[in-house]
C-alpha cells in the first residue's frame, strides 16, 4: 500500500517537474509566442530596445506595431520599455521619411529606402541625431509594422537586425473556403473563424489575432468566403458584417475581398438575366460596387469561380471568361478594385468531355491572353489537375505573357491527409515556384504578380488543426512575400519560433522529409487523383463508376495488364504540347522525364526498366514501402524530441504521427492490393503482402469525413 502510494507520488512529482521545464502550450500563440529568452539573449535584445520611439502622430498601424513590440518584449524580457518621445541611445526607432525628416533625400539610407517601395522595410543599427539606435525604417506605416515583426522575429531567434526587405508580389492573399453557416469546404481545423451570425455587433478577439499573424508574414489580402459562393454574401446585412471584419484588419494592412457568385443579381431577382453584356446587369454590378465601397472604402475586389464544377458563369450566355471578368472589373475599377478570375475549369456536365482534364484550363484561357481588363488577374492553381501531393507546374504559367497570373496553392491539405498527416508544404511551394517555364518569363515565380493560398485556418484552438499545419500557413505567407525563399530556411525560422532553438534542427529535418513521405505512400512516380470519392481521404484507385470519366481514379492512373500511367505525349493526349518546346521535348521521352512525373506523362509497361535497375512494378512497390518506412521514421524522430517539447504539444503531435503511420500503411496496402490485381504480377521477395484482400479496402467508407462544407 505504502509503496504504491509513494510510487504514485513520485510519478506525480516527476510529471510536475517535466511540465515545469516546458510549460504546456495549446498552439494559440502560433509563431508569435515570445517566450522568455536566456540571459545573454535578453541582454542583447534589451540593448536594442531601451525605449521605443515612433516620431509623429500615432496611427492605428503604428499603434498596432507598438502594441506588438510591447507584447514581444514583455514576453521575451519580462519588461516593457514603454514609448518615449525623444531619441536616445539604445532606442528602437520606427520611422518613415514623413515622420523623421532625417530619413529624407539627404539621408545616406535614402536610395535604399526608396527602392523598398510602399511595403518594404529596413532594419539597421545606426546613429540618428547623435544617438546609437536600432532603426526600423520604411516608407509607410505598414512598412513599419512589417519591420517591427521582422525585428521581433530576429530578437526571438537571435538573428542580427540587419535586413532590407520588400515584397516581390503585390497581392499576398488568403482564400477562405468558408461558408456563411460556418462550415468550411476542405477545412480540417474546426469551424470558420468568421462568425457571420454574430457579426457585425460581436467581434471575436480572434479576428485581431488573425490580423497580427497574417501581418507578421506580410499577407495583405483575404477573401472571406468560399469560391462556391452564395448570392446572399453581397446583400446589405453581409456587407455590413464584412465591413466589421475589414475595420479590424485595416490597421494591419489587410484588405478584405469577397467571392462573388456570377448569377447574384439574377438569383436575388433584381435583374432578368446574368448576361455580362446586358446593360441591366452591368448597371446592377456597378451599383453593388458603389454600395460595398461605401461600407468598405478600401474593399479589395472580387474572386470568381465561374463555369466550373456547376458554378454559373458567362458561358451560360455564350460569353467568354474575359467578358465575365471584364464586366465585374468595370464595376470595381472606379474604386481601384480588382477581380481575380479563377482558371480552375473543366468541361461542364453534359458538355463534350475533353480528352484530358489537364488540358482544359489552358485550352480555354490561353486564347484569351490580352483580352482581360487591366484590373483582372487570372488565378491559376499550381498544377493542372487539382492540388495533388505532387503536380508539374500548370502550363498556363509562362503561356499568358499579356495577363497577370496569380498562383493558387492549397494550404489546407485536402489531398494530403487533412490535418492528421504531417506534410510541410514549403517544399511543394518551392518546387513549383523555382521551376523554369523555359519561356521568356523564366521561373514560374517571375510570371506572377500575386499569390493566393487556400487557408487552413479554423476555430480550433491551434488555428490550423495541428501544430505542424501552422507551418504551412507560415510558409505560404513568407514565400508569398519572397517567392525565392528557400523552404528549408523558412522551416528553420518557423521551427525556432514555434518549438525553440534547441528543437530547430531535428524539427526541420522532419519537415523537410514529410511531404515526400506523403507523396510516396499516396501517389509515387507521378500518380495522381486516386483518392476516395468526394472527401478525397484515403486510397481508392479502383473507383471507375462515377458519372464523369474524369472524376474516376482509373481515368488518371490507367493501369491495366499492359502497364500504368497517363500518356500525355503526342501518342496520347498531347498535353505536353501546352508546355514550352524545350520542356515538351524533355518530357516526351520517359528516359529524360523527371522520375517524379513519370506516370503523369507516360503510360509504361510494368517491366519498364527504371534508373534504379528495378522494373517499374518493383519500383512502385519500393516507393510505397519507403513511404511507410518514412512515416515510421517521422514518428520515431518525434519521440526522440520529447525532452525538448512541452507535454501538451508533444502528445498532440505524437497521436497524429501514430495515425499517420496507420494511414500510410492503409495507402500502401490498398494500392498494392489493387495494382497487383491489375498487373497480375507477383510481389518480389522481401515485399510484404497487404494485410487484407482488396475487397476489404474497397469496403472502407468514410461518410462523415470532414471538410465537405
> What amino acid positions are annotated as catalytic residues?
309, 386, 414
Instruction: Supply the minimum distance, in Å, between the C-beta of residue 202 and ligand BDP.
Output: 29
Kindly report the number of other CB atoms within 10 A of residue 279's CB atom: 8
Beta pairing partners, 519 = none
Q: Which positions from 290 to 319 touch ligand BDP by CB under 6 A, shown as an x/- string?
A: ---------------x---x----------
Q: Which positions from 330 to 349 touch ligand BDP by CB under 6 A, shown as an x/- string?
A: --------------x-----
Instruction: Supply the minimum distance, in Å, between the C-beta of residue 543 and ligand BDP.
Output: 15
Pick the binder of ligand BDP from 186, 261, 321, 626 (CB under 6 A): 186
- Residue 706 Rama label (left phi>0; alpha psi -120 to 50; beta): beta
Grid look-up 517539447 returns 645
Interaction between residue 227 and ligand BDP (CB under 6 A): yes
Q: Which is nearer to ligand BDP, 386 or 516 (CB)?
A: 386
Q: Which is nearer to ligand BDP, 348 or 605 (CB)?
A: 348
Interaction between residue 230 and ligand BDP (CB under 6 A): no
Instruction: Supply the minimum distance, in Å, between the C-beta of residue 381 and ligand BDP.
Output: 7
Q: Which is nearer to ligand BDP, 306 or 665 (CB)?
A: 306
- Residue whose C-alpha is closest to residue 481's, from 146, 122, 95: 146
Question: At what angle are helices 426-433 and 487-499 packed, to 10 degrees?
Answer: 160
- Answer whether 92's CB lies under 8 Å from 69's CB: yes
Query: Residue 549: what are its φ and ψ, rounded to 5°?
Result: -55, -40
Interaction between residue 550 and ligand BDP (CB under 6 A): no
What is each CA distance from 647 to 139, 302, 507, 604, in whole angstroms? 44, 44, 16, 49
Instruction: Supply the minimum distance, in Å, between the C-beta of residue 708 and ligand BDP.
Output: 8
Interaction between residue 386 and ligand BDP (CB under 6 A): yes
**How many CA atoms lie within 13 Å of 451's alpha carbon, on the beta-carbon side?**
31
- Residue 258 Rama label (left phi>0; alpha psi -120 to 50; beta): beta
In angstroms, the CA 648 to CA 16 distance is 13
Pick the binder of ligand BDP from 228, 435, 596, 658 (CB under 6 A): 228
End-to-end CA distance of the chain: 55
Q: Which is nearer to ligand BDP, 307 or 462 (CB)?
A: 307
- The separation between CA 326 and the C-alpha centre of its own chain, rounded to angstroms, equals 27
Q: Which is nearer to ligand BDP, 162 or 309 (CB)?
A: 309
Count the residues of the shown chain that bind ligand BDP, applying the rule CB under 6 A.
10
Interaction between residue 566 and ligand BDP (CB under 6 A): no
In angstroms, the CA 461 to CA 227 distance is 25
Interaction between residue 235 and ligand BDP (CB under 6 A): no
In angstroms, the CA 244 to CA 231 distance is 19
Pick the binder of ligand BDP from 68, 414, 469, 550 (CB under 6 A): 414
Instruction: Supply the minimum distance, in Å, between the C-beta of residue 533 and ligand BDP.
Output: 11
Pairing of strands 51-53, 83-84: parallel
**Which residues in the 343-382 window bind ligand BDP by CB under 6 A?**
344
Radius of gyration of the chain (CA): 27
Q: Which residue is nearest to ligand BDP (CB)?
A: 386
Interaction between residue 185 and ligand BDP (CB under 6 A): yes
Kindly report the number of other CB atoms within 10 A of residue 478's CB atom: 24
Instruction: Supply the minimum distance, in Å, between the C-beta of residue 357 and ligand BDP.
Output: 12
Q: Which grid cell is 363?
A: 485550352
Q: Which is nearer to ligand BDP, 331 or 531 (CB)?
A: 531
Instruction: Supply the minimum distance, in Å, between the C-beta of residue 228 and ligand BDP.
Output: 5
Q: Which grid cell is 652?
A: 498532440
Interaction between residue 387 and ligand BDP (CB under 6 A): yes
Binding site for ligand BDP (CB under 6 A): 185-186, 227-228, 305, 309, 344, 386-387, 414
Amino acid at each position: 500500500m505504502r509503496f504504491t502510494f509513494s510510487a504514485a507520488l513520485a510519478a506525480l512529482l516527476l510529471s510536475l517537474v517535466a511540465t515545469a521545464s516546458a510549460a504546456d502550450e495549446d498552439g494559440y500563440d502560433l509563431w508569435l509566442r515570445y517566450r522568455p529568452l536566456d540571459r545573454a539573449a535578453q541582454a542583447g535584445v534589451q540593448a536594442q530596445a531601451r525605449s521605443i520611439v515612433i516620431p509623429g502622430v500615432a496611427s492605428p498601424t503604428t499603434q498596432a506595431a507598438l502594441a506588438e513590440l510591447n507584447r514581444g518584449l514583455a514576453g521575451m524580457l519580462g519588461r516593457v520599455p514603454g514609448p518615449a518621445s525623444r531619441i536616445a541611445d539604445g532606442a528602437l526607432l520606427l520611422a518613415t521619411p514623413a515622420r523623421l525628416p532625417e530619413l529624407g533625400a539627404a539621408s545616406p539610407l535614402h536610395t535604399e529606402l526608396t527602392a523598398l517601395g510602399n511595403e518594404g522595410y529596413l532594419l539597421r543599427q545606426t546613429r540618428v541625431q547623435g544617438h546609437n539606435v536600432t532603426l526600423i525604417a520604411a516608407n509607410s506605416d505598414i512598412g513599419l509594422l512589417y519591420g517591427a515583426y521582422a525585428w521581433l522575429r530576429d530578437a526571438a531567434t537571435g538573428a542580427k537586425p540587419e535586413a532590407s526587405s520588400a515584397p516581390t508580389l503585390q497581392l499576398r492573399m488568403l482564400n477562405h473556403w468558408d461558408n456563411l453557416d460556418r462550415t468550411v469546404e476542405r477545412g480540417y481545423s474546426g469551424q470558420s473563424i468568421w462568425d457571420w451570425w454574430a457579426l457585425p455587433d460581436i467581434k471575436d478577439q480572434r479576428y485581431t489575432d488573425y490580423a497580427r499573424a497574417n501581418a507578421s508574414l506580410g499577407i495583405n489580402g483575404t477573401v472571406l468566403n468560399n469560391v462556391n459562393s452564395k448570392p446572399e454574401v453581397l446583400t446589405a446585412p453581409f456587407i455590413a458584417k464584412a465591413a466589421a471584419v475589414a475595420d479590424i484588419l485595416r490597421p494591419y494592412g489587410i484588405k478584405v475581398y469577397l467571392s462573388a457568385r456570377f448569377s447574384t443579381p439574377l438569383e436575388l431577382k433584381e435583374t432578368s438575366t446574368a448576361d455580362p453584356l446586358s446593360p441591366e446587369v452591368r448597371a446592377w454590378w456597378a451599383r453593388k460596387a458603389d454600395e460595398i465601397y461605401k461600407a468598405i472604402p478600401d474593399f479589395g475586389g472580387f474572386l470568381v469561380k465561374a463555369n466550373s464544377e456547376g458554378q454559373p458563369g458567362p458561358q451560360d450566355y455564350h460569353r467568354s471568361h474575359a467578358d465575365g471578368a471584364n464586366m465585374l472589373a468595370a464595376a470595381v475599377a472606379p474604386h481601384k478594385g480588382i477581380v481575380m478570375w479563377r482558371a480552375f475549369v473543366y468541361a461542364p456536365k453534359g458538355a463534350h468531355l475533353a480528352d484530358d482534364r489537364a488540358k482544359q484550363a489552358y485550352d480555354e484561357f490561353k486564347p484569351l491572353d490580352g483580352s482581360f481588363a487591366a484590373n483582372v488577374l487570372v488565378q491559376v492553381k499550381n498544377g493542372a489537375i487539382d492540388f495533388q501531393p505532387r503536380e508539374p507546374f500548370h502550363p498556363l504559367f509562362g503561356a499568358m505573357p499579356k495577363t497577370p497570373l496569380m498562383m493558387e496553392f492549397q494550404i489546407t491539405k485536402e489531398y494530403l491527409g487533412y490535418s492528421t498527416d504531417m506534410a510541410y508544404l514549403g517544399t511543394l511551394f518551392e518546387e513549383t515556384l523555382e521551376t523554369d517555364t523555359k519561356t521568356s518569363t523564366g521561373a514560374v515565380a517571375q510570371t506572377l504578380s500575386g499569390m493566393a493560398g487556400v487557408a487552413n485556418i479554423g476555430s480550433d484552438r491551434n488555428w490550423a488543426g495541428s501544430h505542424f499545419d501552422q507551418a504551412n500557413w507560415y510558409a505560404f505567407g513568407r514565400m508569398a512575400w519572397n517567392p525565392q525563399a528557400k523552404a528549408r530556411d523558412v522551416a528553420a525560422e518557423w521551427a525556432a519560433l514555434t518549438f525553440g532553438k534547441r528543437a530547430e534542427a531535428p524539427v526541420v529535418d522532419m519537415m523537410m522529409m514529410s511531404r515526400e513521405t506523403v507523396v510516396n505512400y499516396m501517389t509515387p512516380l507521378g500518380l495522381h487523383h486516386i483518392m476516395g470519392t468526394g472527401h478525397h481521404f484515403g486510397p481508392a484507385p479502383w473507383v471507375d463508376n462515377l458519372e464523369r470519366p474524369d472524376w474516376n481514379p482509373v481515368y488518371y492512373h490507367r493501369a491495366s495488364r499492359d502497364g500504368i500511367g497517363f500518356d500525355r505525349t503526342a501518342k496520347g493526349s498531347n498535353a505536353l504540347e501546352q508546355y514550352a518546346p524545350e520542356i515538351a521535348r524533355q518530357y516526351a521521352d520517359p528516359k529524360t522525364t523527371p522520375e517524379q512525373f513519370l506516370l503523369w506523362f507516360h503510360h509504361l509497361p510494368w517491366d519498364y526498366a527504371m534508373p534504379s535497375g528495378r522494373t517499374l512494378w518493383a519500383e512502385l512497390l519500393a516507393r510505397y514501402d519507403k513511404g511507410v518506412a518514412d512515416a515510421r521514421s517521422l514518428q520515431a524522430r518525434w519521440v526522440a524530441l520529447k525532452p525538448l517539447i512541452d507535454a501538451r504539444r508533444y502528445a498532440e503531435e505524437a497521436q497524429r504521427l501514430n495515425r499517420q503511420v496507420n494511414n500510410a500503411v492503409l495507402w500502401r496496402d490498398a494500392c498494392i492490393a489493387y495494382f497487383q490485381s491489375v498487373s497480375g504480377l507477383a510481389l518480389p521477395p522481401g515485399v510484404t503482402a497487404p494485410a487484407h484482400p482488396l475487397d476489404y479496402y474497397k469496403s472502407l467508407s468514410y461518410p462523415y469525413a470532414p471538410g465537405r462544407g
